[in-house]
Every structure is written in structure tokens, then in C-alpha cells.
Amino acid sequence: MTSLVDNLLDGDHRALARTITKIEDRAPGYRDLVSQLHEHTGHADVIGITGSPGAGKSTLVDKMAEEYRNRGLTVGVIAIDPSSPFTGGAVLGDRIRMASNTGDMDVFFRSMSARGTLGGLSTATTDAVKALDAFGKDKIIIETVGAGQNEIDIVRTADTVAVLVPPASGDDVQMLKAGILEIADLFVVNKADLDGANRTVQELREMIEMRRDELAVATGHHGTVEKTRDEDATGDATDEDGPSWSPSIVETVAKRGDGLDELLSVLDDHREYLVESGQLEVKARNRYAAEIRRLLREDTADLLAEEIEERGGLDQFVDRVLDRETDPYAVADELLEPIEECVEEKRE
């Protein structure tokens, strides 16, 4: 493992690929591997790209990676695909989507499975981001399965989240109102050369204004927002409590590269805002807190599953519940008791 880490830190792409494979497969020793990488992280700019199916996420990510390379930056791309119900692997893992960067060693592309997680990202994705960060990639782009009610894990993993919305997508905009609005640092109306693009932009602006009004009421600034907040073309806003960020709207035609410069400019602006406002550190703290809680849940679940098997399997407990000899709460208490005793003993 130490040799693998050393090779990765020395810029060996094969070592990077092997590391991510071990992480995704949860191979023996992968946790020690990620632990060794952690001290070398914290330098990359992590960008999340999400949106409804057909919005053009893959094409846009391809063009973004190409332009970043033109600017002399190295790029890592993780494309999260739906999980196969048979193997758990990525279903849509085709490299054709990154055709513009084929053969460029400084663009590392990997398809990964969502593994059935509701938030669209698996723990392995978070660890793979750490590997790319430690390797020294300047930009890490995560393309998610698609926007939905539970597509929120990306906000805990990426520094900046861009939500793609296709033109004339009334249903998609309605869906955004249901919760995705809160995770977007900017909206991208892709395929803006199609009919309905202007209407979609207007609907998004109305949503953003509505959200601002709701926040104003919640924070007690209602009625003073217009006087104390000034927004520029980038979406950067200031108010009496200091700088804040209002989601921007960028129009693109990804297949032609139209609007790409503006998009990357807004992404840079948001990164600058995060650094200057201190929100980058806040995001990191929240990210690590969420990661620790998730790992605790996963490890505790594994430990309990092992304990249940040692006691003869879950069926015997279910039989006792069905016979009214016990109840689910009592079973849970019984299984957790040795763990609680061990924790209390260690605490003392």
C-alpha cells in the first residue's frame, strides 16, 4: 500500500487507476490506503454537474475538461452511473462521452456506480475524489446520475454545484422547486439554441427571486433586501451582513462550446467567493462531519449484521416477533446491548 501511495503521489497514472479500483471494489486495505492519502488532499477545486437525463451533462463535462486542459490545468472526471442490479457496477460506463480528451493523460476519466445510494453518490466516490486530489488534479468534475428529490449528496462532496436544465422543460423546473434549487450554485440552460430557452431562463430567474424572498422573510430582512443587496452579472451579491452568493444562470450549447467561457468564469467566481467568505472551510467541515457520520452508520450496520449471523440469523428473531414472544424494539435492544456495554466500558 505504501508503494502504491508513493507512486500515486509521484504522478503515476497507473497507480491512480489501481488506487481507485481498490477503493471502488472495497478491496482489503483500502481504508488504510485512503487514510494515507488524506494528508495530501485539500488542494483541488471540486465541481459537481447534475441535472435531468438528456440535459447534456456528459457533453458539457467533456467540453469543460477540454477547455481546462487548453488553460494548462489537469482534470479528473468521475461520471456516476446507475448501478447494475446484477453486479452493482456502472451500467452506462462508456468512455465515448469523453471523446474530445481521448489519449490525454492529464484528463483522468472514471465511470463509477451509484451503488443504489439515494443521494446519487456512494462512499467510494468521496474516496476516489481524495485520490484524484492527492494525485494533484487541479479540477475534479463529478457528473451525477441526474437531478431528483434525493440527488443531494453532491452538495456534500463538491465545492460548487451546477444544475443543468434543458430548454422548455416545465416539468424539470417544477421538479427543481421541490428541492434541487437549494443545492445549485449556478444553473446552466444547456442546448440554449433550442426553442424555449428564453422561457426556461425566465422561469429560473423567478424561482431564484422567490427563494430570495423566502430567505429574506426567514432571516428578518424582508422589505430591506432591495436596499441592502446589489447583484452583478456573476450572481455575486452583497448585503448588510456581508457577502453572499445568489445562483447564476448561464446559457450554453455544449456541443459547440458556446457559453463555455462564461460558465468557467462563473465557476471561478464562485471558487473565489468561497475562499474569501470562509465558506470553503465551512463546506469542508460539513463534508467531513457528514463523512464521519456515514462511516459510523455503515460500520455499525456491518457489525450488527455480523452479530446477527453469529446468533443464527435474522429469521429466528422474526419468528419470535411473529409469535408475539418479543417485539422489534426489544430485538434491537438485545442486539445492541453488547455494543453499548463495550462502548461504556471504553468510555470509563
Q: Identify the residue with better confidence: 336 or 239.
A: 336
Q: Identify the residue with better confidence: 199 or 274.
A: 274
pLDDT of residue 108: 94
pLDDT in tens, 84-100: 434 444 445 444 455 55
Indicate whether 125 pLDDT > 50: yes
Q: Is residue 172 part of a domain?
A: yes
pLDDT of residue 141: 97
- What range defines the domain where residue 207 resides? 39-276
Instruction: Compute the CA torsion angle 29, 35, 36, 40 (nearest 10 deg).
Output: 150
Does 322 lie in the same domain as 218?
no
**Distance of alpha carbon 101 from alpha carbon 104, whole angstroms:** 6
Of 246, 276, 306, the domain-final residue:
276
Q: Is residue 214 part of a domain?
A: yes
Does 322 lie in the same domain as 256?
no
Does 303 lie in the same domain as 176?
no
Residue with cell 474530445: 100
Q: Which residues pair with 186 in a beta bridge?
A: 162, 248
Does 138 lie in the same domain as 181?
yes
Of the candidates 24, 78, 20, 72, the residue with the CA atom closest to the CA atom of residue 47: 78
What is the pLDDT averaged over residues 169-185? 66
User: How many beta carbons lie within 10 A of that of residue 91, not counting itself?
Assistant: 16
- Contact in structure between 100 and 66 (CB atoms under 8 Å): yes
pLDDT in tens, 209-230: 887 777 666 666 544 333 323 3
pLDDT of residue 269: 97
Q: Give the CATH number for residue 177.
A: 3.40.50.300
Of 276, 309, 327, the domain-final residue:
276
Does 103 lie in the same domain as 72?
yes
Provide the pLDDT confidence category of residue 162 given band limits of 50, 70 and 90. Answer: very high
Of the candidates 77, 66, 18, the residue with the CA atom closest to the CA atom of residue 44: 77
Q: Is residue 20 part of a domain?
A: no
- Contact in structure between 33 and 67 (CB atoms under 8 Å): no
Please state the domain count of the chain.
2
Q: Is residue 8 part of a domain?
A: no
**Distance of alpha carbon 56 from alpha carbon 143, whole angstroms:** 11
pLDDT of residue 101: 60
pLDDT in tens, 37-95: 999 999 999 999 988 777 889 999 999 999 999 999 999 999 987 654 344 444 454 44
Does 251 lie in the same domain as 195?
yes
Q: Is residue 343 part of a domain?
A: yes
- Contact in structure between 291 and 126 (CB atoms under 8 Å): yes
pLDDT in tens, 231-279: 433 334 444 455 688 899 999 999 999 999 999 999 999 999 999 999 9
Q: Is residue 163 part of a domain?
A: yes
Q: Which of 106-110, 112-116, 239-243 is predicted least confidently?
A: 239-243
Does 194 lie in the same domain as 309?
no
Does 315 lie in the same domain as 207?
no
Residue with cell 434491537: 332
Does 158 lie in the same domain as 79?
yes
pLDDT of residue 121: 66
